[in-house]
């Protein structure tokens, strides 16, 4: 369920160039919108699914999300302009938001604290498997029948998972724990969530690091295909970097009980900040892109560190929320993703002929994230 949006993102990466040519995009950076538009829809949809799942249970909103995703995919398959394609992608994001956010709420219904972080890390190992194989699937389908056939595969994937969920997943939210779905209940829950200092701080941390990471995803085709001329090796490159994320998630599951989430988050943010500062300085002084092995080495460090960030940060943000887990996950994910989309758009628009914007973005965002993380560690007044 949680891998649905990842499949919809990474499978499209090899096809961005062909989509741009067929739909007559005037600016190469417009290709990034095919990625960021899905995140935009995701941020809009995810705000409501948690509240709906807290009111009606986990199962009905998940099923509705899958149906929206399927309808949006049909729009994408038949799109004849960039506007129609982007509209379909936004709607895809709205649909994919339900399965993603409620999957986390289902985990929260059954686990908490470090146990939840451990389970989420194991789930992330499966989640990362999709970015490892999705670019290969996308490239194969594009070469076989064109980029539209990638959307056909997305529809089949969503349909299979929907059927599996419908048959296998029981309801995890007891009726006695359900919340009313009214404007006043939504606003009061949102105020409660945002007024918690720890939750708010980690919401901000999630937003800034996600902004840098989405910028990496949306510019990957331009960087590796255009700047470094990797061509058909793009899926292998993306998959190789994704293995670093999966490895980090596995290690995180082993270390989180011994070291704690806060310490792991702090160490990862420091390593990303320092390595990005050095790399950005090197790129600036060279005035050109470093050799491919150096760039891949730098990105491997970054992606590895992010394997210690996302799930730990989300868990830290949710930890004080208790029975508000569904609503909290919606608010946290929605606001952090909206923040991330805006950040990634600015970074992507700055992209020209070097990777300097990407390295500088990781430096600046993770430095800011570390400062906010330190604020979250301060004692309560």
Please give the pLDDT value at position 41: 94
Please give the pLDDT value at position 34: 93
3-state SS record for 198-218: HHHHHHHHHHHHHHHHHHHHH
Please give the pLDDT value at position 381: 54
Q: Is the pLDDT of residue 302 over 70?
A: yes
More confident residue, 50 or 316: 316
Q: Look at 121-130, 157-166, 372-381 and tell me which has the smallest mean pLDDT.
A: 121-130
Considering the chain, what is the average pLDDT of its residues? 88
The 10s digit of each residue's pLDDT in 326-339 is 677 778 888 999 99
**Segment 338-367 mean pLDDT:** 91
Provide the pLDDT confidence category of residue 1 given band limits of 50, 70 and 90.
confident
List the chain domain ranges.
Answer: 4-169+185-376
The 10s digit of each residue's pLDDT in 176-196 is 777 777 777 678 778 888 888
More confident residue, 181 or 283: 283
More confident residue, 368 or 221: 368
More confident residue, 24 or 71: 71
Please give the pLDDT value at position 326: 65
Please give the pLDDT value at position 12: 92
The 10s digit of each residue's pLDDT in 254-274 is 898 889 899 999 999 999 999
Asked if 380 and 196 touch (Cβ cutoff 8 Å), the reply is no
The CATH number of the domain covering residues in 4-169+185-376: 1.20.1250.20
- List Cα–Cα distances, 299 to 121, 314, 350, 369, 372, in angstroms: 21, 23, 19, 19, 24
Please give the pLDDT value at position 156: 95
Q: Where are the alpha helices (DSSP H) in the chain?
A: 4-10, 16-22, 33-56, 59-77, 82-110, 113-145, 148-168, 183-195, 197-220, 234-259, 261-286, 292-306, 310-318, 325-350, 356-376
Q: Is the pLDDT of residue 204 over 80?
A: yes
């Amino acid at each position: 369920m949680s891998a649905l949006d990842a499949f919809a993102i990474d499978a499209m990466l090899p096809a961005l160039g062909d989509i741009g040519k067929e739909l007559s995009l005037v600016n190469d950076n417009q290709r990034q919108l095919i990625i960021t538009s899905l995140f935009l829809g995701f941020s809009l949809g995810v705000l409501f699914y948690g509240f709906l799942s807290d009111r009606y249970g986990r199962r009905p909103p998940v099923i509705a999300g899958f149906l929206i995703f399927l309808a949006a995919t049909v729009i994408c398959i038949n799109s004849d302009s960039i506007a129609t394609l982007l509209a379909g992608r936004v709607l895809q994001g709205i649909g994919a938001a339900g399965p993603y956010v409620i999957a986390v709420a289902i985990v929260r219904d059954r686990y908490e604290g470090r146990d939840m972080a451990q389970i989420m890390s194991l789930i992330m190992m499966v989640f990362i498997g999709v970015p490892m194989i999705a670019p290969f699937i996308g490239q194969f389908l594009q070469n076989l029948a064109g980029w539209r056939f990638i959307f056909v595969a997305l529809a089949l994937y969503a349909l299979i998972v929907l059927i599996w969920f419908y048959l296998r997943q029981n309801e995890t939210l007891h009726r006695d724990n359900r919340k009313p779905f009214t404007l006043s209940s939504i606003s009061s829950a949102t105020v409660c969530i945002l007024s918690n200092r720890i939750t708010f701080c980690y919401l901000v941390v999630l937003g800034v690091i996600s902004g840098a990471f989405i910028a990496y995803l949306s510019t990957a085709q331009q960087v590796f295909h255009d700047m470094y001329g990797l061509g058909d090796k793009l899926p292998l490159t993306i998959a190789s970097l994704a293995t670093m994320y999966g490895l980090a998630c596995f290690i995180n599951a082993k270390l989180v009980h011994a070291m704690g989430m806060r310490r792991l988050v702090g160490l990862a943010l420091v390593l990303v900040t320092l390595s990005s500062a050095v790399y950005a300085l090197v790129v600036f002084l060279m005035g050109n892109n470093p050799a491919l092995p150096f760039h891949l080495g730098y990105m491997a460090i970054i992606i590895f560190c992010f394997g210690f960030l996302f799930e730990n940060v989300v868990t830290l943000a949710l930890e004080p929320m208790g029975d508000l887990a569904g609503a909290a996950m919606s608010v946290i994910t929605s606001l952090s993703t909206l923040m991330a989309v805006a950040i990634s758009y600015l970074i992507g628009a700055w992209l020209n002929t070097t990777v300097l914007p990407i390295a500088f973005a990781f430096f600046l965002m993770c430095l800011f994230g570390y400062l906010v993380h330190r604020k979250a560690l301060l004692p309560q007044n």
